[in-house]
């Protein structure tokens, strides 16, 4: 009977974990909250096979409320699946900037690399052209100073280290960090024709003549020794080529195959690029600063971490935020001194991509009240730091019943819908679990698509065992993230 009790407890925990995964994937906040209140240890649950946690599922689907709930419940924010992906990587892959902001505010590690091609969340954001995610990832490395754009344009090692963070990384190292085969984020943005992301990376100091290597596992159809301009010529986007040429990309640089960017365009029948790639230096144009530069982001992120950003709602506030009219003012804008709440300041810095020049230096954002250029935010004297409480870390056991005293097990079982009394036999029936709805496809549907630089797909088999032996193994198509045409599995 002890063995059967253990199996029953295991079944109850697994069912609760699958229900939490389903709630995280579908965005059911109330269901997720109820399950975590019943058993907080469920935050450590991961699906069979793919090992995707509820945090992975909610981040990939963009449910930032559930992501916040899981973080408050003590989830490991840098937990990996079997491919080495974190929740931050999956949020960047699909462009869910609100999830990225939530994870960055909670100090998620942006330097984690996956196990397949060494790509980081930064590479995935550049590969898919999510400029908002890029600037949020760099919130701790772009200082809120008015002269930043002038300093970064000088490209000297002294200026490159001005934004070195406490973790030892500088902005220059992050921007130019190579993935498998020496491919940088600039290569990825140029290949896929993401003009806004490419423009932003160049304004942040991306090396324009960085070349790839010949020791990676990714099949490179262009050839080793290729620059971002080679990749832009292969991708066929004329605007990307024009921006790279205007920033000083070499038109005569040859890769390991002896191809120049013009010859790459001809080899792949990109004939509309011949005029651009053969332009003379005096015909090159200049480019304006990227509208996705955001200088105030570092200052407001520091304030949000110190004083919070989700619990400033007040019911009887005499002077609420002029933007949302709900929260109390916690920060003030430099220059115009208009007061906002932390949440509105974060939203303003994350979404601003104005093409009109505000009354401020490049990278400043216009104030929503007076259109004055904001470079940084400062907290008000009435804004108090958060009082942090440490939550005990516990390991995921089979069921909370297994860790309770024997005299409390009976009472607990009578009040919890997922833990039934000891079964009389080894067979299990869903009639004993009235609140449990079993689904056979919970473990096999995950959002663990991985990127590569070529069009390549494969079928991976994921199998899960169930208490009903009639369930057969299913096959789910797992596509490598194609550099030119990425496809995402439908759930």
**pLDDT reading at 115 higher than 60:** yes
Per CATH, is 297-379 categorized as 3.30.40?
Answer: yes
Specify the residue for token string 């607990």.
412
Question: Do 401 and 411 touch, CB atoms closer than 8 A?
Answer: no
Q: Which residues contact 258 (CB under 8 A, 6 or more apart)?
A: none
Instruction: Name the residue among 23, 102, 105 with its Cα closest to residue 58.
Output: 23
- Residue 121, classed as helix, strand or coil, is helix
CA distances in angstroms from 469 to 19, 153, 466, listed in the order given: 21, 64, 6
What residue ranges do the domains of the chain occupy? 297-379
Record the tokens describing residue 380, joined without a space. Answer: 């008000």
Q: For residue 22, what pLDDT band results from cuts at 50, 70 and 90?
A: very high
What's the pLDDT at 88?
97
Report DSSP letters for 196-260, one per residue.
HHHHHHHHTT--TT----S--SS--SS-TT--HHHHHHHHT-HHHHHHHHHTT--SS---TTS--
Which helix or strand (DSSP H or E) is residue 457 part of?
strand 457-462
Q: Which residues contact 30 (CB under 8 A, 6 or more apart)?
A: none
- Quickly count: other Cβ atoms within 10 Å of residue 179's Cβ: 27
End-to-end CA separation in angstroms for the chain: 40
What are the start-end ranges of the E strands in 262-406? 331-333, 339-340, 365-366, 373-374, 377-379
- C-alpha count within 13 angstroms, C-beta hemisphere, residue 467: 14
- Quickly count: other Cβ atoms within 10 Å of residue 95's Cβ: 17
DSSP letter, residue 446: -
> What mean pLDDT do residues 211-228 have?
82
Q: Is the pTM of this model over 0.85?
A: no
**pLDDT reading at 150 higher than 90:** no
Instruction: Name the residue among 431, 400, 409 with its Cα closest to residue 10.
Output: 400
Q: Which residues contact 475 (CB under 8 A, 6 or more apart)?
A: 459, 461, 462
What's the pLDDT at 137?
97
**pLDDT reading at 35 higher than 80:** yes
What's the pLDDT at 2?
44
Question: Do 132 and 101 touch, CB atoms closer than 8 A?
Answer: no
The Cα 107–Cα 166 span in angstroms is 12
pLDDT in tens, 36-87: 999 988 988 888 767 889 999 999 999 999 999 999 999 999 999 989 999 9
The Cα 151–Cα 393 span in angstroms is 44
**pLDDT reading at 457 higher than 80:** no
pLDDT in tens, 333-342: 998 999 999 9
What's the pLDDT at 92?
97
Q: Which has the minimum average pLDDT: 3-7, 282-286, 363-367?
A: 3-7
Q: Over pLDDT 90: what percentage of the chain?
A: 50
Instruction: Name the residue among 161, 176, 106 with its Cα closest to residue 136.
Output: 106
| More confident call, 400 vs 200 | 200
| More confident call, 158 vs 28 | 28
Average pLDDT value for the chain: 76
Q: Which residues contact 27 (CB under 8 A, 6 or more apart)?
A: 58, 61, 63, 65, 66
Strand partners, 451: 481
């Amino acid at each position: 009977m002890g063995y059967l009790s253990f199996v029953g407890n295991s079944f109850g925990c697994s069912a609760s974990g699958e229900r939490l995964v389903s709630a995280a994937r579908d965005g059911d906040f109330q269901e997720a909250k109820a399950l975590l209140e019943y058993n907080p240890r469920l935050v450590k649950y991961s699906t069979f096979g793919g090992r995707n946690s509820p945090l992975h599922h909610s981040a990939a689907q963009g449910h930032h409320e559930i992501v916040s709930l899981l973080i408050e419940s003590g989830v490991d924010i840098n937990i990996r699946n079997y491919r080495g992906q974190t929740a931050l990587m999956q949020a960047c892959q699909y462009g869910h900037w609100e999830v990225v902001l939530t994870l960055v505010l909670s100090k998620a590690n942006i330097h984690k690399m996956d196990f397949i091609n060494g790509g980081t969340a930064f590479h995935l954001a550049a590969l898919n052209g999510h400029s908002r995610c890029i600037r949020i990832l760099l919130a701790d490395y772009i200082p809120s100073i008015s002269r930043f754009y002038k300093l970064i344009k000088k490209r000297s090692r002294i200026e490159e280290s001005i934004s070195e963070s406490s973790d030892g990384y500088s902005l220059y190292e992050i921007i130019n960090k190579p993935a498998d085969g020496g491919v940088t984020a600039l290569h990825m943005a140029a290949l896929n024709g993401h003009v806004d992301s490419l423009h932003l990376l160049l304004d942040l100091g991306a090396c324009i003549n960085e070349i790839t290597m010949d020791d990676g596992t990714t099949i490179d159809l262009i050839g080793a020794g290729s620059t971002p301009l080679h990749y832009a010529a292969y991708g066929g986007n004329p605007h990307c080529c024009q921006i790279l040429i205007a920033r000083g990309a070499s038109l005569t640089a040859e890769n390991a195959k002896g191809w120049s960017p013009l010859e790459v365009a001809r080899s792949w029948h990109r004939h509309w690029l011949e005029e651009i790639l053969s332009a003379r230096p005096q015909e090159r144009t200049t480019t304006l600063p990227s509208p996705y530069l955001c200088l105030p982001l570092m200052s407001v992120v520091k304030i949000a971490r110190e004083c919070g950003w989700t619990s400033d709602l007040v019911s009887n506030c005499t002077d609420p935020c002029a933007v949302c009219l709900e929260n109390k003012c916690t920060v003030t804008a430099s220059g115009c001194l208009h007061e906002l709440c932390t949440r509105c300041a974060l939203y303003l810095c994350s979404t601003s991509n104005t093409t009109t020049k505000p009354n401020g230096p490049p990278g400043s954002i216009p104030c929503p009240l007076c259109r004055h250029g904001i470079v940084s935010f400062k907290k008000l004297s009435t804004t108090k730091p958060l009082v942090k409480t440490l939550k005990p870390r516990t390991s995921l056991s089979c069921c909370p019943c297994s860790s309770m005293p024997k005299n409390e097990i009976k009472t607990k079982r009578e009040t919890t819908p997922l833990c039934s009394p000891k079964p009389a036999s080894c067979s299990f029936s869903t009639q004993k679990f009235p609140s449990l709805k079993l689904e056979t496809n919970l473990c096999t549907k995950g959002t663990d698509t991985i990127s590569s630089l070529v069009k390549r797909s494969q079928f991976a088999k994921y199998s899960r065992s169930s208490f009903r032996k009639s369930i057969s193994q299913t096959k789910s198509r797992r596509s490598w993230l194609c550099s030119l045409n990425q496809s995402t599995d439908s759930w």
